[in-house]
A and B are shown apart, each in its own frame.
Chain A
Amino acid sequence: MSDWAGVLMFLVVAAIFGAGGIIASFVIHPRSKAKQKLEAYECGVPSIGNTWIQFRSSYFLYALMFVIFDVETIFLYPWAIKFQSLGSFAFIEMIIFLFILIVGLWYAWKEGAMEWI
């Protein structure tokens, strides 16, 4: 049996575990009715306006940088594993690689992508 089947089992059983907990709770918990019970909680007063609104996301640029650098790591890890067996040429290549990305990072910094808008 392959390792990955084991992983699949973990995934499935974990989901079942979660679902089981919720369902068991559903069976035994008491329930009641009240007028305002199902309304959104907002410190006890009725919520004003729509909730699923356009959200001013100052986080967007962070996410962008994250994706870019996350992709970078998928190149870095194979290199890191081979680091000891590869020659210094590979190290220099990687330095160039990183340097190019660091330029990007520096640019992002300079442009204030890391500032909170």
Chain B
Amino acid sequence: MLRTETYTVNFGPQHPATHGVFRVMLNLDGERIVKAEPVCGYLHRGVEKLAENRTYQQVIPYTDRLDYLAAGLQNQGYVETIEKLMEIEVPDRAEYLRIITAELSRIASHVLFVGVYALDIGAFTGFLLCFRERERILDLMEELTGSRMTYSYARIGGVAADAPEGWLDRVEKVVNDLPYYFDIYDDLISGNEIFQARTKYVGYLSAESAVDYSLSGPTLRGSGIDYDLRKAKPYSIYDRFNFEVPLGENGDCFDRYFCRILEMRQSVYILQQAIEQIRETDGPIMAKVPKVLKPPKGEAYHEIESSKGILGYYVVSDGSNKPYRVHVRRPSFVNLGFLDEMCRGGLVADLVAILGSIDIVLGEVDC
């Protein structure tokens, strides 16, 4: 063969397709990728260390900033870990509110993913239309929590505030509207032949390697592995809802993408049930917890299914009011591990499609 020179191109850190400050060092031969080495850490903020100097409650706002696209899920993961550590029973209404925020967060995150993925593939309009729907969800969240992205809504033992008057109706309205918008995405993006040509049979990920590399979330399920913690090990009150876990077949970019679309529809379904059930649930939104939280000596590891995959919190307490050690198992970070293999032999354009389909968020990757 013509042994052409390979050359190295920095793809990122400032690059529109890396979704933040992420860098892939590409070894290219013409347009073919010989090697793609991810370089992360440009957003390493030392949250784990900072958490050691904050009280348990004060860590909550910091978890927002990890996965800033789905902060509700991050809050949930953290507080549930502490509740596990302290063995606190959370009142039902709070659980429902958490689920609603979590699922809304999941939809917001997935909607953003769909938009950004469309942008990566080159469809600008999809990106902005998705923002319209996201904007409506953010409105709801802002009404409930006061912030558009960084909610800090969950509290250890409950949630910060009850839903305002009429909020649930508004959520219901938006939630009922959403499937209509998903249809638009299907018409505009998923159904588009060019989009399919760009994403189908690209970035193949076999089920075995997906499991071996501990990939999780839609990335794993796109390869056909049925592993959703909400179903596999129901936490919180997910066992009360009826939903399905969408799976892909081929393990290519399109399946990973489409899994998310289907997952949003399932989330809508969960939300509808949750709203129905919360209407019948009255009661406090906070468990009885002491003002100063001092969990007993010990450790706890708790996993939830975030929008990107399995989000785990590992907390060690030494009995004081500050955690001794907090570790976050970030799905985005672990999912990146297989990037090189997926890209190898593809074209530069494929890298964009693959990277987009993993749906990383840099705050989470770099912690």
Instruction: Give 13 A-B contacts (CB < 8 Å), ordered by A residue.
Output: A43-B10, A44-B13, A47-B10, A48-B8, A48-B10, A50-B7, A53-B7, A54-B5, A56-B29, A56-B32, A58-B30, A58-B31, A116-B347
Nearest-Cβ distance from residue B5 to partner chain A, whole angstroms: 5
Please report the C-alpha to C-alpha distance between residue A73 and residue B14 in the assembled complex, in whole angstroms.
45
B4–A54 CB distance below 8 A = yes
Q: Residue B91 at the A interface, CB < 8 A?
A: no
Given contacts A49-B8, A50-B7, A54-B4, contact A43 B14 (CB under 8 A): yes
Nearest-Cβ distance from residue B42 to partner chain A, whole angstroms: 10
List chain A residues, Cβ under 8 A from B9. Answer: 42
Chain B 1-19: CB-based contact to A (< 8 A → 1; otherwise 0): 0101101111111110000
Please report the C-alpha to C-alpha distance between residue A44 and residue B10 in the assembled complex, in whole angstroms.
9
How many chain B residues sit at the interface, stated as a range, is 10 to 19
List chain A residues, Cβ under 8 A from B322. Answer: none
Please report the C-alpha to C-alpha distance between residue A49 and residue B26 in the assembled complex, in whole angstroms.
12
List chain B residues, Cβ under 8 A from A55. Answer: 4, 30
Q: Residue B65 at the A interface, CB < 8 A?
A: no
Closest B residue to A41 by CB, please name it. B14
Which 5 pairs show the lowest CB-CB distances between chains A and B? A56-B30, A56-B4, A48-B8, A44-B14, A54-B5
Chain B residues within CB distance 8 Å of chain A: 2, 4-5, 7-15, 23, 25, 29-32, 347
| CB within 8 Å of B: which A38-95 residues | 42-45, 47-51, 53-58
Nearest-Cβ distance from residue A40 to partner chain B, whole angstroms: 10
Closest B residue to A58 by CB, please name it. B30
Please report the C-alpha to C-alpha distance between residue A53 and residue B30 in the assembled complex, in whole angstroms.
10
Closest B residue to A47 by CB, please name it. B10
Closest B residue to A57 by CB, please name it. B30
Nearest-Cβ distance from residue A109 to partner chain B, whole angstroms: 19
Given contacts A53-B5, A54-B5, A56-B2, contact A43 B11 (CB under 8 A): yes
B12–A43 CB distance below 8 A = yes
Nearest-Cβ distance from residue B8 to partner chain A, whole angstroms: 4
List chain B residues, Cβ under 8 A from A49. Answer: 7-8
Nearest-Cβ distance from residue B349 to partner chain A, whole angstroms: 11
Closest A residue to B14 by CB, please name it. A44
Closest A residue to B16 by CB, please name it. A43
List chain B residues, Cβ under 8 A from A58. Answer: 30-31
**Cross-interface CB contact of B13 among A45, A48, A54, cutoff 8 Å:** A45
Closest A residue to B21 by CB, please name it. A44
Nearest-Cβ distance from residue B68 to partner chain A, whole angstroms: 22
Given contacts A49-B8, A53-B7, A56-B2, contact A43 B23 (CB under 8 A): yes
Nearest-Cβ distance from residue B30 to partner chain A, whole angstroms: 3
List chain A residues, Cβ under 8 A from B8. Answer: 48-49
Please report the C-alpha to C-alpha distance between residue A42 and residue B28 in the assembled complex, in whole angstroms.
15
Name, among A42, A43, A44, A54, the residue most crowded by chain B CB atoms within 10 Å (CB to CB): A43
Given contacts A43-B23, A55-B30, A56-B29, 4 further A-B contacts (CB under 8 A): A51-B7, A54-B5, A55-B4, A56-B30
A45–B10 CB distance below 8 A = yes
Nearest-Cβ distance from residue B352 to partner chain A, whole angstroms: 13
Nearest-Cβ distance from residue B33 to partner chain A, whole angstroms: 12
Closest B residue to A46 by CB, please name it. B10
Closest B residue to A45 by CB, please name it. B10
Nearest-Cβ distance from residue B316 to partner chain A, whole angstroms: 37
List chain B residues, Cβ under 8 A from A43. Answer: 10-15, 23
List chain A residues, Cβ under 8 A from B31. Answer: 56, 58
Closest B residue to A48 by CB, please name it. B8
Closest B residue to A42 by CB, please name it. B10
Name, among B7, B25, B31, the residue most crowded by chain A CB atoms within 10 Å (CB to CB): B7
List chain A residues, Cβ under 8 A from B25. Answer: 48
Please report the C-alpha to C-alpha distance between residue A78 and residue B93 in the assembled complex, in whole angstroms.
82
Please report the C-alpha to C-alpha distance between residue A43 and residue B8 in the assembled complex, in whole angstroms.
13
Please report the C-alpha to C-alpha distance between residue A44 and residue B23 in the assembled complex, in whole angstroms.
10
Nearest-Cβ distance from residue A59 to partner chain B, whole angstroms: 8
List chain B residues, Cβ under 8 A from A45. Answer: 10, 13, 23
List chain A residues, Cβ under 8 A from B5. Answer: 53-54, 56
Nearest-Cβ distance from residue B202 to partner chain A, whole angstroms: 13
Nearest-Cβ distance from residue A1 to partner chain B, whole angstroms: 48
Please report the C-alpha to C-alpha distance between residue A64 and residue B8 in the assembled complex, in whole angstroms.
28
Closest A residue to B9 by CB, please name it. A42
List chain A residues, Cβ under 8 A from B4. Answer: 54-57
Please report the C-alpha to C-alpha distance between residue A55 and residue B2 in the assembled complex, in whole angstroms.
11
